[in-house]
Chains A and B, each alone.
Chain A
Amino acid sequence: MSWPWPPLPDWRACLLSVAATVSAGKLTNVTIASIDEGGNSRSQSIDRQAVPILEQEALQAQSANIQGVSGASYTSAGFEQSLQSALTQLGFR
């Protein structure tokens, strides 16, 4: 029996606004400024819980010699792009 593969879930990345603090050339703090979940109730429930993890992942990536974090539930490409944008505005590559 061959399956007609169902389409992948229509999962939309939420919009995140990220504030980054750079001190002495080093990323020292990241906070989430706003969240627009785009009316997607599913990502809503995931994102709210995951925001602190996103902050923590960004910090850990800077401060510890580790390749990953276990227990961090979720990372978002939207977060990464927003973080990069914030860092660029701060003149920090």
Chain B
Amino acid sequence: MTLAQLTTTSDGQAHWRSHHRQEVMGTVVTLDLFGEGDAAPDGAYVRVARARAVLQRADAVFSTWNEHSPISQLRRGEITVGDAPPDVAAVLGDCETARALSQGWFDPWAMPGGLDPTGYVKGWAAQRAVDGLAGPGITGAMVNAAGDIASFGCPGTGTPFRIAIVDPADRRRLACVVELAGAIATSGNYERGEHLIDPRTTKRGSRVASASVTGPDLGLADALATALVVAGEEGLEFIEPIDGYEGFVIGRDGSWNWTRHFPFAPGWTAPRRGDLEGLDKSHGV
């Protein structure tokens, strides 16, 4: 599905937005491109087609649902990493990095049923898709893979992308708004909780209701968010020193904790711990 929308701002400058959807990886991925002028440049649609192919290819290689996919064959021990498409070695290398950065809280090798890099792949694929959307006449783009969002630039108005984080206690509400420069991933036990496996016990488990990670790369942000929701508040300590990445957790009791520079949008000043009454949500909900 493709939708186009044209708006004119108060200064008379026209902006276009081009919206696309792709059913892939067991979910729906949305792709949005933004620019100035009356219409998207012709090349934009070629780039969207290329981004769709990136997502489909990632699904074909890494789908653990598809018994014929290279990752499924690797999981069964029928092939080696060397036999698989080169993306597999690249992704597993990235997963090793994420495992080290998260001090073992993200560990695709400790999943029940064997190797499962799914917690990294969705973000990795969306990041590659958005990277391929950059081009002349495009001021910004965003790829939203089931709530994990990769972006560059801005939505045409000179202001950054504004992304809401769902309130895990009431999914009809948003908890807060962030100004995005790059990517954000959120993990919570309210959505597809089956991937929340504690690698230290290899059982299901998470210590907070929701964990979000922002940073330049959605693959790593996705892996770190998966780690953070399992590790809980103490996991912010492994996020803090990672250059460019910030973390935010919402506890089961509604408490908020975050790393020093988590990019809350203006007007969404974070409350002090346990001081949710002080939060002004009036303009957001």
| A residues adjacent to B (C-beta < 8 A) | 1, 3, 5-6, 8-9, 11, 13, 42, 46, 49-50, 52-53, 55-56, 59-60, 63-77, 80
- Judge whether A6 and B69 touch: CB under 8 Å: yes
- Judge whether B172 and A74 touch: CB under 8 Å: no
- CA A76 to CA B51, docked complex, whole Å: 19
- CA A71 to CA B169, docked complex, whole Å: 12
- CA A42 to CA B146, docked complex, whole Å: 15
User: Which A residues lie within 8 Å of B144 (CB)?
Assistant: 68
- Judge whether B173 and A75 touch: CB under 8 Å: no
- Judge whether A11 and B23 touch: CB under 8 Å: yes
Out of A9, A66, A76, which one reaches B162, CB within 8 Å?
A: A66
Contacts of B138-173 to chain A: CB distance below 8 A: 142, 144, 146-149, 155, 161-166, 168, 171-173
User: Which A residues lie within 8 Å of B192 (CB)?
Assistant: 46, 49, 73
Number of interface residues of B (CB under 8 A): 54
- CA A2 to CA B172, docked complex, whole Å: 47
- Judge whether B166 and A68 touch: CB under 8 Å: no
**Contacts A65-B162, A66-B162, A66-B177 given; does A75 touch B142 at CB 8 Å:** no
**Contacts A6-B66, A11-B26, A46-B192 given; does A70 touch B171 at CB 8 Å:** no
Contacts of B1-58 to chain A: CB distance below 8 A: 1, 21, 23-24, 26-28, 30, 32, 56-57
- CA A68 to CA B17, docked complex, whole Å: 14
- CA A60 to CA B210, docked complex, whole Å: 19
User: Which A residues lie within 8 Å of B149 (CB)?
Assistant: 68, 70
User: Which A residues lie within 8 Å of B68 (CB)?
Assistant: 6
- Judge whether A68 and B70 touch: CB under 8 Å: no
Q: How many inter-chain residue pairs (CB < 8 Å) link A and B?
A: 127
User: Which B residues lie within 8 Å of A42 (CB)?
Assistant: 26, 65
**Contacts A56-B166, A64-B284, A68-B164 given; does A74 touch B23 at CB 8 Å:** no
Shortest Cβ distance from A63 into B: residue:
B285
- Judge whether A67 and B186 touch: CB under 8 Å: no
User: Which A residues lie within 8 Å of B171 (CB)?
Assistant: 52-53, 56
| B residues adjacent to A (C-beta < 8 A) | 1, 21, 23-24, 26-28, 30, 32, 56-57, 59-60, 63, 65-66, 68-70, 83, 85, 142, 144, 146-149, 155, 161-166, 168, 171-174, 177-178, 184-186, 188, 190-193, 210, 212, 283-285
- Judge whether A70 and B65 touch: CB under 8 Å: no
Q: How far apart are A55's CB and chain B's nearest CB, in angstroms?
A: 6
Shortest Cβ distance from B178 into A: residue:
A70
- Judge whether B147 and A69 touch: CB under 8 Å: yes
Nearest 10 A/B pairs, CB to CB: A73-B191, A71-B166, A71-B186, A6-B68, A70-B186, A52-B171, A72-B147, A66-B162, A56-B172, A75-B28
**Contacts A53-B171, A73-B147 given; does A9 touch B59 at CB 8 Å:** yes
- Judge whether A69 and B164 touch: CB under 8 Å: yes
User: Which B residues lie within 8 Å of A6 (CB)?
Assistant: 60, 66, 68-69
- Judge whether A49 and B191 touch: CB under 8 Å: yes
- Judge whether A77 and B21 touch: CB under 8 Å: yes
Q: How far apart are A3's CB and chain B's nearest CB, in angstroms?
A: 6
- CA A8 to CA B26, docked complex, whole Å: 10
- CA A42 to CA B144, docked complex, whole Å: 21
User: Which B residues lie within 8 Å of A53 (CB)?
Assistant: 147, 166, 171, 191
